[in-house]
Amino acid sequence: MYNQQQTKELQENTTEWLSSLNTTNIHEIAAHNIEGLRNVLRFHEYRYYVQNDPLMSDFEYDSLYKLLEKTEKENPSLITAASPTQRVGSGLVKDFPKVEHLVPMLSLENSYNSDDLIDWDRKARELSTLDVVEYCVEPKFDGASISLIYDNNLLTRAATRGDGVTGDEITTNTKKIKSVPLSATFSSYGIEQIEIRGEVLINKNNFKAYNQKLMEEGVPPLANPRNAAAGSLRIKDTAEVGRRNLEAFLYHVSYIINGNQQATTNAQPSTHSGMLEMLWNLGFRSPKQEMKVVQGIDEVIKYVNEFETKRDDLPYEIDGMVIKVNNLHLQEQLGMTSHHPRWAIAYKFKARQATSKLTGVEFQVGRTGAVTPVAKIEPVQVGGVTVSSISIHNEEYIKEKNLLLGDTILIERSGDVIPQIVKSFPELRKGNETAIQFPGECPVCHHQLFKPTEEAVWRCININCEAQVVERIIHFVSKDAMDIKSFGDANVRKFYTEGLLKDIPGIYQINFDTIGKMEGFGKKSVDNLKAAIEASKTQPLHRLIYGLGIRYVGETTAKTLANAVEHVHDFKNYSEEQLQQMEDVGIKVASSIYRFFHDKDNLQMLEKLEAMGVSLINQKKQVAGNDQLAGQTFLFTGTLTQLKRSDAEEMVEHNGGKILSGISSKLNYLVVGEDAGSKLEKAKKITSIKIINEEDFIKMLPV
């Protein structure tokens, strides 16, 4: 729609408008060039809604939008029907069938500090003539918004937001989201047809696991859970949508048609919080537990601040809070502007995005020899952390993100996910930017690099390359593998350079006297290291298998493998076909495992480890009668007080049981810790689930 020249011009105009915002006569300037300002806003709406590729922050957009709004208010004769203030949104991505929303899906006005909220409350009080307004405060979920329609208790249509008036029909994909009920007894509330709004998201753990899987396959990870959720809804392969583990929070009822009142057993709520409760009661995931009903804006401010401190502990991403007038009659009375409802406002938390400059690229060699480019950027604060380097994965990724040295880039750090480059801004280039050059040889051992045809990465194929050896040892001692505490990356590197450690078995032959004489090592740290190394000898088999760093074998596959054998050496007798029979093991993974256990050097390493006392046996298969929980499924919820959640889960698996990821009729036991929440409520509705506490669980384990 916009060509390069227009894009460049509009980008320059944007900069000019933004930098003149604080000029005293800005409204006069705006009145004189009002169409220019509108064109800038239209351009950014197009980038945001149509291209899904915004060029400015919400805050900047809002400032310019408010300038237009105010200028028009002061000069009503300048208002035109096509002004951005007079419509809901524009444009659509052409993909799925288009459907019209029953009620336009408006976006919310944004606020950034308590003054904004106080201002908004003042207007609500003035319009309602109330002294104190009751508000419902709930999280602002950071995903992709959807609308659901239920007719006579059945889910009949799901749609994306689109431009707010028309969206994409995504019913089939939405049916794959387990938290969206396919039917719900709205008739018990006298409702015949209802439209509900909500947000589809991927929780942080699933996002991390999904990205991990992509990276293990050599595919660059997705930038953030929001993009992952939005992208997943539009996938044509519905089964893949199911595998993405999407979730949905439903937070707004936009439309109701009443039906036969005879079946009505419940009164229809007259408040927003009542609606959230109704949805919850009908089996929806609404923010019933996260919401808070408060009196007046001071309590709102207290709750949003309190919630912001909990942001990192939540299992899903939120980018702020939404404050809604609780009484539905009052909501109606307040009505809406052309863009936003007056009865609700979004309060945005501090951004986790920032812009910086790409100043250089370094190439790192990983344990599998993959040469990864790492972007060096001008240090910048994102979500409370200073970021100065970011992995940029491979050549294709660099091409896809259109990165040049010297580029201005947008970076994001969502939750505890590693920072990523969201995009570059080619329109801001000055002409002195240069292409990123890949080295022809390994930056560490200078062996020539090789790019297998089916892969996106360049590799150093010298398996004795120093960088790879060190990275393999680091992986072996790491937390999720053998968990040798007090070793750490820095010590591995140090011991290696000092010649104290040359391979994985070397960990168990390390000379503690020499280490004791090294700078920074007192008796206590040497004792700790000794104890940690000793303790690692009896780690469960799946940790050892994961620690071996076999390509494509992540933690889950390592568990599957460990469960299948009594001793690691059993793998010598497995054919590739037999390996492929295992869960999660495809052709590529099977061939990698097969090669690993048919390599002379690897087998020699395993023998050395065993000779030094490292357990290579499946301990749980050795202990008789430990299939006590065979066939039983478990799920833990809330905080356990005696056991660590991961240990408890391991115990279930060690004893033949299985861990499920959610409440369903397949679940046998829900183990409830302190402060258990929605899972417990949901489990109570399925009578076959046995709800037990931690003590009961411990009693079920073999002594």
Residues forming the active site: 140
Q: Is 251 in the site for ligand IVH (CB under 6 A)?
A: yes
Nearest-approach distance from CB 686 to ligand IVH, in angstroms: 27
Identify whether the C-beta of residue 144 lies closer than 8 Å to the C-beta of residue 200: yes
Q: Which among 174-182, 224-232, 341-349, 472-480 is the span making contact with ligand IVH, rule CB under 6 A?
A: 341-349
- Which is nearer to ligand IVH, 251 or 669 (by Cβ)? 251
Three-state secondary structure string covering 26-61: HHHHHHHCHHHHHHHHHHHHHHHHHCCCCCCCHHHH
CB 125 within 8 A of CB 375: no
The correct pick among 106, 201, 507, 635 for binding ligand IVH (CB under 6 A) is: 106
Kindly tell me which of 160 and 655 has the beta carbon lying closer to ligand IVH.
160
- Which CB, 167 or 221, lies closer to ligand IVH? 167
Residues 342-401 that bind ligand IVH (CB under 6 A): 344, 346
C-alpha 481/C-alpha 575 separation (Å) is 25
If one asks whether residue 307 binds ligand IVH (CB under 6 A), the answer comes out as no
Amino acid in the structure at residue 158: A
CA distances from 698 to 622, 635, 672 (A): 21, 14, 12
Residue 107 near ligand IVH by CB under 6 A? yes
Q: What is the DSSP letter of 97?
A: P
- With CB under 6 A as the contact rule, which of the stretches 64-72, 76-84, 100-108, 120-128 interacts with ligand IVH? 100-108
Stretch that binds ligand IVH, among 136-144, 350-358, 411-419, 664-672 (CB under 6 A): 136-144
Q: Which residue has the tokens 């940690």?
A: 532
Q: Long-range contacts of range 93-99, CB-CB < 8 Å, 24 or more positions apart? A: 93/50, 93/52, 93/168, 93/234, 95/168, 95/234, 96/160, 96/168, 96/169, 96/170, 96/234, 97/168, 97/169, 98/162, 98/166, 98/167, 98/168, 98/169, 99/157, 99/159, 99/166, 99/167, 99/168, 99/169
**Binding residue (CB under 6 A) for ligand IVH from 322, 345, 553, 561:** 322
* 201 burial via Cβ count (<10 Å: 0-12, 13-18, 19+): buried
Residues in contact with ligand IVH, shown as a per-residue x/- string from 263 to 302 under the rule CB under 6 A = ----------------------------------------
Q: Which stretch binds ligand IVH (CB under 6 A): 55-63, 139-147, 456-464, 645-653?
A: 139-147
Residue from 199, 247, 407, 412 in contact with ligand IVH (CB under 6 A): 199
| Residue 141 interacting with ligand IVH (CB under 6 A) | yes
| Least distance (Å) between residue 319 CB and ligand IVH | 8
Query: Considering the complex, what minimum distance in angstroms separates the CB of residue 141 from ligand IVH?
Result: 4
- Whether 204 contacts 225, CB under 8 Å: yes
φ and ψ of 398, to 5 deg: -60, -40
**By CB under 6 A, is residue 158 in contact with ligand IVH?**
no
Q: Which two tokens stand for residue 87?
A: 């419509």
Two structure tokens written together for 522: 């007192």
Q: Are 251 and 142 in contact (CB under 8 A)?
A: no
Nearer to ligand IVH, 58 or 471 (CB): 58
Among 341, 369, 419, 540, binds ligand IVH (CB under 6 A): 341
Distance between CA atoms of residues 642 and 673, nearest Å? 10
Least Å distance between CB 46 and ligand IVH?
17
- Structure tokens of 452? 């297998």
Should residue 545 be labelled a site residue for ligand IVH when binding is judged by CB under 6 A? no
The correct pick among 252, 423, 543, 682 for binding ligand IVH (CB under 6 A) is 252
Contacts for 281 with CB less than 8 Å, ≥ 6 apart? none
CB of 199 to ligand IVH, least distance (A): 5
> Should residue 90 be labelled a site residue for ligand IVH when binding is judged by CB under 6 A?
no
The region of 57-65, 105-113, 562-570, 595-603 touching ligand IVH under the rule CB under 6 A is 105-113
Distance of alpha carbon 76 from alpha carbon 74, whole angstroms: 6
Closer to ligand IVH at the Cβ: 107 or 632?
A: 107
Nearest to 107 by CA among 44, 197, 36: 197
Residue 138 near ligand IVH by CB under 6 A: yes
* By the rule CB under 6 A, 515 interacts with ligand IVH: no
145 binds ligand IVH (CB under 6 A): yes
User: In the set 38, 42, 140, 342, which binds ligand IVH (CB under 6 A)?
Assistant: 140
State the Cα–Cα distance between residues 211 and 275, nearest whole angstrom.
Answer: 36
Task: Report how far residue 105's alpha carbon sits from residue 90's, in angstroms, rounded to the nearest whole number.
Answer: 12
Draw the binding track, 405-444, toward ligand IVH (x: CB under 6 A; -: no contact).
----------------------------------------
How near is the Cβ of 30 to ligand IVH at its closest, in Å? 24
Q: Which of residues 197, 204, 226, 475 is near ligand IVH by CB under 6 A?
A: 197
Query: How does DSSP classify residue 216?
Result: H
Least distance to ligand IVH, CB of residue 524, Å? 50
Q: Burial level of 9, CB count in 10 A (0-12/13-18/19+)?
A: middle
Residue type, 83: S
**Residue whose token pair is 């929605």:** 678
Nearest distance from C-beta of residue 108 to ligand IVH, angstroms: 4
Sign of the dihedral defined by the CA atoms of residues 267, 268, 271, 274, in that order:
positive
Amino acid at 348: K
Say how far apart CA 344 and CA 322 lie, in whole Å: 7
- Of the pair 346, 635, the CB lying nearest ligand IVH is at 346
The residue (of 64 and 635) whose beta carbon lies closer to ligand IVH is 64
Tokens representing 259 are 């039906």
Using Cβ positions, the residue closest to ligand IVH within the complex turns out to be 145
Q: How far is the CB of 252 from ligand IVH (least distance, A)?
A: 5
Count of positions on this chain that bind ligand IVH (CB under 6 A): 15
Single out the residue of 185, 53, 175, 160 nearest to residue 96, CA to CA: 160
Q: Is there binding between residue 108 and ligand IVH (CB under 6 A)?
A: yes
* Residue closer to ligand IVH, measured from CB, 181 or 320: 320
Please choose, from the candidates 25, 122, 125, the residue with its C-alpha nearest in 3D space to the C-alpha of residue 74.
Answer: 25
Binding site for ligand IVH (CB under 6 A): 106-108, 138, 140-141, 145, 197, 199, 251-252, 322, 341, 344, 346
